[in-house]
Amino acid sequence: MLDTIKGLAKKTDSKILMVVLDGIGGLPLELGGDTELATAHTPNLDALAPLAQLGQVELVGAGITPGSGPGHLSLFGYDPIKFVVGRGALSAVGIGVKLGYGDVAVRGNFATLGAGRIVEDRRAGRPSDEKNAEIVGKLKAAIPEIDGVQVEIYTESEHRFVVVFRNPGAPLGANLSDVDPQATGVQPLTAEAHDEASKKTAELVNAFVAQAEAALSAEPQVNGVLFRGYSDVPHFPSFDDIYQLRAACIASYPMYKGLASLVGMDVLEVEGHEDALSGKVEALKANWDKYDFFYFHVKKTDSTGEDGDFAEKVHKIELFDELLPELLALKPDVIAIVGDHSTPSKLMSHSWHPVPLLIASQYARKDAAVRYTEEEAAKGTLGLRKGTDLMPLLMANALKLQKYGA
């Protein structure tokens, strides 16, 4: 649909605000109970829901659990089956790393390994950014290159880091299996190439894992590395060009900034820590007159779910609800509240469950849903939608699409 939308899009003065509550979808801890979203005290969302239209969104397809990259691409209108990008490139671009032809970027987790290299914690207790930088410094000193290939190592945030393998004159392939088993109680996996061009990359990754474990052997908690999301340089049609929008990204985590940058959004400077959210609100206010589309990302609704902390995910939802009036005070012509995937605390991981969607504009039809929750969203007039339906719906509600055909 991108070509069709591009042909219909028109510039107007109306403003669209897309709020992505990362991992917002949840599950009750016991059958018949309430999800995190339904448990949360959300008076401002409750006041907005009856004035909006609600529905549910499947980001990739029925039963498919989306990663954050595919989930966001879908929300931005890019078919995540057709437009594929590894997490490594998103993270690298998000922290300002320039990737060249033949480079391979890899997203890494610092992990805690026990006896027999058994993974005890895939996130090494979520170390501070300062501890991350300290560990990255050790690895830089220990692994400047492998077999003549340049190795660059970067801090992302908390347990996340990025490695870029550069081999000028001999491009590396990025089609290989993960080291991260995405489970505890097992050993890290061995990277295996899925094509001839990626055999060298697999060798480099496995060598890096072994050398990193040796370099970090004295560390009590951050003593292992897990890799997933290999990628070379991706290319996307321009978001601004397709939708005729001046688009801005307000996010703290590098991966989300990287994805927004790759599709052509301007990434705005955000002050302060992710938990506070106040820096994001200030960035939105300061730039409100400069753009007509804003992507506003909230991360901690996801990471608390990944940690299995039901109560804390409820708390993060309530913190967002408290700041919602500040967003509404800017009077966006259209506001969407949605997730890029579900992260139920019960599962401690992403899941296949649809996410609740809310769209508020002066053109919203009357809706039976009275709260922004999974159960209420299922009653909404928007029904069950593909993630790629969201941008056309927002454009239509903002009166930014011309009529199709005679």
Q: Where does residue 221 rank: exposed (0-12), middle (13-18), buried (19+ CB within 10 A)? A: middle
Cβ pair 348, 31 in contact under 8 A: no
Comparing C-alpha atoms, which of 88, 105, 91, 208 is closest to residue 156?
91
Domain boundary among 199, 231, 263: 231
- Looking at every residue in the chain, the average pLDDT score rounds to 94
Cβ pair 267, 257 in contact under 8 A: yes
Comparing C-alpha atoms, which of 134, 74, 131, 143 is closest to residue 106?
143
Dump pLDDT digits (tens) for 353-396.
999 999 999 999 989 999 999 999 999 999 999 999 999 999 99
Number of domains in the chain: 2
Residue 334 CB-half CA count within 13 A: 27
CB neighbours (10 Å) of residue 253?
22
Same domain? For 380 and 263 the reply is yes
Tokens of 196: 């001839």
What is the reported pLDDT for 210?
Answer: 97
Domain boundary among 166, 198, 231: 231
Token match 């056309």: residue? 392
Which helix H or strand E contains 168, and what residues bound it?
none
Same domain? For 125 and 159 the reply is yes
182: domain range? Answer: 90-231
Same domain? For 151 and 214 the reply is yes
Residue 161 CB-half CA count within 13 A: 35
Comparing C-alpha atoms, which of 85, 91, 69 is closest to residue 255?
91
SS3 19: strand
pLDDT tens for the chain, 406 residues long, are 899 999 999 999 999 999 999 999 999 999 999 999 999 999 999 999 999 999 999 999 999 999 998 999 999 999 999 988 777 888 888 888 888 888 999 999 999 999 999 999 999 999 999 999 999 999 999 999 999 999 999 998 899 999 999 998 788 999 999 999 999 999 999 999 999 999 999 999 999 999 999 999 999 999 999 998 898 877 789 999 999 999 999 998 888 988 898 899 999 999 876 667 899 999 999 999 999 999 999 999 999 999 999 999 999 999 999 999 999 999 999 999 999 999 999 999 999 999 999 999 999 998 999 999 999 999 999 999 999 999 999 999 999 999 999 8
What is the reported pLDDT for 20?
Answer: 98
What is the reported pLDDT for 275?
Answer: 64
Same domain? For 223 and 98 the reply is yes
Same domain? For 382 and 299 the reply is yes
Same domain? For 345 and 217 the reply is no
Residue 403 placed within a domain = no
Residue 195 placed within a domain = yes
The torsion region of residue 399 among left (phi > 0), alpha (psi -120 to 50) and beta comes to: left
Same domain? For 226 and 124 the reply is yes
Cβ pair 287, 295 in contact under 8 A: no
Residue 19 placed within a domain = yes
Cβ pair 46, 325 in contact under 8 A: no
Tokens of 286: 């300061």
Residue 260 placed within a domain = yes
Same domain? For 272 and 330 the reply is yes
Cβ pair 22, 340 in contact under 8 A: yes
What is the reported pLDDT for 231?
Answer: 86
Cβ pair 342, 25 in contact under 8 A: yes
CATH classification at residue 74: 3.40.720.10
Which helix H or strand E contains 9, and what residues bound it?
none
Helix axes 310-328, 278-286, angle to 10 degrees: 20
Residue 405 placed within a domain = no
Tokens of 239: 């978001």
CATH classification at residue 218: 3.30.70
Same domain? For 341 and 218 the reply is no
Same domain? For 106 and 59 the reply is no
Cα separation, 92 vs 397, in Å, equals 34
Residue 71 placed within a domain = yes
Token match 């609600």: residue? 54
SS3 116: helix
Cβ pair 317, 299 in contact under 8 A: no
Residue 129's alpha-carbon distances to 238, 251, 255, 274, in angstroms, are 32, 17, 15, 12
- In 72-176, DSSP assigns E strands to 104-113, 119-121, 145-146, 149-157, 160-166
Q: Kindly give the residue spans of alpha helices, DSSP state H, lying in 97-147.
A: 129-142
Same domain? For 172 and 203 the reply is yes
Dump pLDDT digits (tens) for 130-159.
999 999 999 999 999 999 999 999 998 899
In DSSP terms, which residues pair with 249 in a beta bridge? Answer: 267, 295
Comparing C-alpha atoms, which of 220, 186, 182, 187 is closest to residue 306?
182
Cα separation, 110 vs 121, in Å, equals 9
Residue 9 placed within a domain = yes
Comparing C-alpha atoms, which of 291, 297, 182 is closest to residue 247?
291
Same domain? For 368 and 245 the reply is yes
What is the reported pLDDT for 274?
Answer: 63
In DSSP terms, which residues pair with 227 in a beta bridge? Answer: 108
Cα separation, 312 vs 294, in Å, equals 27
Cα separation, 158 vs 60, in Å, equals 28
Domain boundary among 214, 231, 248: 231
Residue 402 placed within a domain = no
